[in-house]
Structure 1
Amino acid sequence: MAVSISRDLTVQVLEDVNIVKLSDRQQALRAAIQRGEPKSLGVIQVMLGLMVMSYSIPLHCSVKTEVVHLGVPWWSGLTFITAGAVAIVLDKHCTMKILKGCLIASGASILLSVVAVIIYSVDMDRNPALPCGETAEDRSCTEKHYATALSRGLKSVLLLFTVAQSVVSAVVCFLLIRQRRGLQQYACLDQAAPSTPTSVTPPHLN
């Protein structure tokens, strides 16, 4: 902290060098993050989450299997939406705290995506589409065939969306970790020095 005294005895507290470094760090962080386009990736995550949840609705009207009982599309979709929302916020407010929050949300999204992919794969293996009946009069067999075929097709689409989400989340994590490492040297400046320079004027001496 630098202090200067003018001829009229006015004490001026000059701008702290730590504040300058912190401001430069924030500008560098914003520029680095915007190069990675977190807003676009966040929008993709939100859209994938909404699509997973909307595509899972017909599963409740068809054959209910482990995927429906465990609510896989719902908790995975909510996780995708949360991770995308945090990435969108990071694009507007570039701070280290939000960056860490985005890393945690994206990491959780990757982990839950892997779990969801495993559940989808096991469920589809255990519940194959039933063969259609040999005769046109066998209506019950035909209905079961279409119900299981619809369920399997929807799970295949949900599996594809979940894999895409894991890839997007992995890209987000990679970009944020790289930027965080590059700016780690300024991590101690978040709580440094006063936020604005101040001036102190002495009382008039009679």
Structure 2
Amino acid sequence: MAVSVSRDLTVQVLRDVNAVKLTDRQQALRAAIQRGEPKCLGVSQVMLGLMVMSYSIPLLFTEFTEVVSFGVPFWSGLTFMTAGVFAIYLDKHGTMKNLKVCLVVCVLSTVLSVVAVVIYSVDMGNHPEVACIKTSEDNHCNNQYYATKLSRGLKSTLLLFTLAQTVISSIFCFLLFRQRDSVGQYASLTQAAPSTPTALTPPDLN
């Protein structure tokens, strides 16, 4: 805080350099967030969430394996959509508080994506594709063969979507961590630094 005293003993409290720096950092934060295009990443996450949930519907009519029993496509899809909505909101309201909330949701989305990938992999390993047993009547494979083939095809697609979500969430988390660290050291200056100059007039001694 800088102070200047005029000839008439009027004390002028000048604007704090740290306050100016904090304001500049906040503007830089918003500009950096917009350069990172969180809206595009958010829309991608919402679309992936919708695709995961829609592609998983046919699994309800096949054999109930670990993926369907645990409801993996549904809670993972909802998590992707929630993370996308927060990213879109951050693009419009780029404050430090919103950045921290979005970061928490993004980390949660990344962790759940990895968990979903593990469950998909284990499920596909435990339930291999059934061999084709042709019937003597129409020379076609049995129904179980087609059911397992459809199930594995859908799970493979869901696995690819979830891997894509893991990559997007990881990149977004990295960008948010970097922006949070770059302005975190100035967060304590918000209350301490005056935003506008104030004038102090000495009391009349006469």
Q: TM-score range by the shorter chain?
A: 0.7 to 0.9
Give the SS at the match of 1:154. Answer: helix
Aligned length: 196
CA gap 1:16/1:164 in 2 versus in 1, 3 angstroms:
same
Moved more, 77-86 or 184-193: 184-193
Matches within 5 A, 1:174-193: 174-192=174-192
What is the CA–CA distance in structure 1 between the aligned matches of 2:196 and 2:147, rounded to whole Å? 66
Corresponding letter in the other structure for 2:165:
Q
Moved more, 157-166 or 189-198: 189-198
Letter paired with 2:62: S
Other-structure match for 1:78: 78
User: For residues 53-202 of structure 1, what are the structure 2 equivalents within 5 Å?
Assistant: 53-137=53-137, 142-192=142-192
Could you tell me which runs of 5 or more consecutive residues in structure 2 were left unpaired when the two chains were aligned. Answer: 5-11, 200-206
Deviation at 1:127, TM superposition (A): 0.9
Query: How many Å separate the matches in 2 of 1:85 and 1:150?
Result: 32
User: Which blocks of at least 5 consecutive residues in structure 1 are unaligned?
Assistant: 5-11, 200-206
Distance 1:190 1:162 in 2: 40
Question: Matches of 1:144 and 1:184 in 2, distance apart?
Answer: 57
Residue type of the alignment partner of 2:147: A
Measured after TM superposition, the shift of residue 190 of structure 1 is: 3.8
Alignment check: 8 A CA contact 1:59 1:68 kept: yes
> In percent, how many aligned pairs have the same letter?
69
**Contact 2:90/2:99, CA 8 A, preserved across alignment:** yes
Q: What TM-score do the two structures reach when normalised by structure 2?
A: 0.82
* Offset from partner CA, 1:91-119 (integer Å, 9 cap, x none): 11111111111111111111111111110
